Amino acid sequence: MQDQSTTRHPYVWLICPQCGAHFRRIYRDYARSADGIRCCSKPCRKAYIRAQHPPCVYAIVHVPSGRLYVGSTAAPHERWRNHRGELTHGRHANAPLQAAWTESSPDAWEFRYLEVVPDATQLIAREQTWLDHYRATGLLFNRQPNAGTATGTVMPPSFSAMLSARQRGRHLSPEARAKIAAKARGRKWPAGRLPPVLHFTPTEVQAIRIRWANGETQQALASEFGVSRGAIGGIAIGRRYQHVPMDDDTAARVMARRIAVGKPPKPH
Ligand SMILES: [Zn+2]
């Protein structure tokens, strides 16, 4: 019996632009492919599109008015799709941008690359530069002054008042506090912020304080532990690692050493 599938569905031979492999595709599917990107597999397709759209600082520009929303991302094509989806459904987090989108036609908007940032760890820093650059023009939709964090956002007075009124008179039972603390444990840090890096264990911190109080120099300790002299100094006098308590005996010896090296503690 003749294999009819080949006659009804002729194949096209293609070369994958990502891995270079030869592969074949049913002509009908080939002709229908909407974006013209033809890779041998889904992973290849994803890698190819990523390479075509490197990490960047971008702007969503309302062309007629020149107003714009600045952001940064490691996957621009996906980010633009997400923004558009939220805007289309009227649930974008940025209210001014959403309002402007609702009032105008989608054709009035452009997704523009402001800068390609090959090293994605630099995205937040570069976005900040662009935010600062456009802040002065008054054309920004962004309300948050700092890239990657909501810190410093100026809220309408009514909203601030509502939040503080809500907090006022909020007294938590010890059980409720314990519950919140348990939930907060293991929580990830918000995007764009990093947890503090602790180089030393409490035991090491105590050892550094005692050894400096006993006469070893900060420089010698710094060389031994591979940190700066200033870092050792901060630990030794208790300004750093304040969560590691100093017992009275150590505190007295540290104080004596400070006086001996001519740096008595400043009165508070
Ligand atoms: Zn491939």
Mean pLDDT, residues 197-214 taken together: 90
Question: If pLDDT is split at 50, 70 and 90, which confidence band does 196 have?
Answer: low
The residue ranges of every structural domain in the chain are 7-52, 56-135, 202-260
Task: Give pLDDT, residue 70.
Answer: 94
Task: Give pLDDT, residue 25.
Answer: 85
Q: pLDDT tens for residues 211-252?
A: 999 999 999 999 999 889 999 999 999 888 888 888 888 989
238: nearest Cα among 267, 220, 265, 217: 265
Q: pLDDT tens for residues 26-69?
A: 877 776 767 788 888 889 998 898 888 899 999 999 999 999 99
- The rounded Å distance from CA 200 to ligand 1 centre is 47
- The rounded Å distance from CA 41 to ligand 1 centre is 6
Amino acid at 2: Q
Is residue 60 a contact partner of residue 79, using CB atoms and an 8 Å limit? Answer: no
Report helix angle 202-213 to 229-236, nearest 10: 90
- The rounded Å distance from CA 14 to ligand 1 centre is 10
- The rounded Å distance from CA 266 to ligand 1 centre is 67
- The rounded Å distance from CA 268 to ligand 1 centre is 67
Q: pLDDT tens for residues 83-100?
A: 999 999 999 989 999 999
- The rounded Å distance from CA 49 to ligand 1 centre is 12
- The rounded Å distance from CA 75 to ligand 1 centre is 20
- The rounded Å distance from CA 28 to ligand 1 centre is 20
- The rounded Å distance from CA 25 to ligand 1 centre is 13
Which alpha helices (DSSP H) does the chain contain, by range? 5-8, 27-32, 42-52, 76-88, 95-103, 123-135, 157-167, 174-184, 202-213, 218-225, 229-236, 248-260
In the numeric block, which tokens belong to residue 256? Answer: 């004596």
- The rounded Å distance from CA 40 to ligand 1 centre is 4
Query: Rounded to whole angstroms, how far apart are CA atoms 254 and 248?
Result: 10
- The rounded Å distance from CA 217 to ligand 1 centre is 61
> What is the three-class DSSP state of 81?
helix
- The rounded Å distance from CA 24 to ligand 1 centre is 12
On the CB side of 71, CA atoms within 13 Å amount to 17
In the numeric block, which tokens belong to residue 23? Answer: 């592969």
Residue 89 CA, distance from chain mean position: 25
Query: Rounded to whole angstroms, how far apart are CA atoms 259 and 68?
Result: 58
- The rounded Å distance from CA 46 to ligand 1 centre is 10
- The rounded Å distance from CA 11 to ligand 1 centre is 17
Mean pLDDT, residues 14-37 taken together: 83
- Give the angle subtended at the CA of 196 by the CAs of 211 and 192, to the nearest 5°: 160
- The rounded Å distance from CA 93 to ligand 1 centre is 37
How is the beta sheet containing 56-62 ordered, strand by strand?
Answer: 67-73, 56-62, 109-116
φ, ψ for residue 56, nearest 5 deg: -155, 165
- The rounded Å distance from CA 204 to ligand 1 centre is 52
- The rounded Å distance from CA 72 to ligand 1 centre is 28
In the numeric block, which tokens belong to residue 205? Answer: 């911190």
- The rounded Å distance from CA 115 to ligand 1 centre is 28
Q: Which residues contact 86 (CB under 8 A, 6 or more apart)?
A: 92, 93
- The rounded Å distance from CA 31 to ligand 1 centre is 19
Query: Rounded to whole angstroms, how far apart are CA atoms 23 and 200?
Result: 56
What mean pLDDT value characterizes the chain? 85
Which single residue is written with the structure tokens 């050892």? Answer: 207
> What is the three-class DSSP state of 42?
helix
Report the topology of domain 56-135: GIY-YIG endonuclease (3.40.1440)
Indicate the DSSP class of residue 186. Answer: T
DSSP assignment of 123-154, as one string? Answer: HHHHHHHHHHHHHTTT-B----SSTT--TTPP
Residue 10, CA distances (Å) to 5, 60, 85 in order? 8, 42, 37
Task: Give pLDDT, residue 211.
Answer: 94
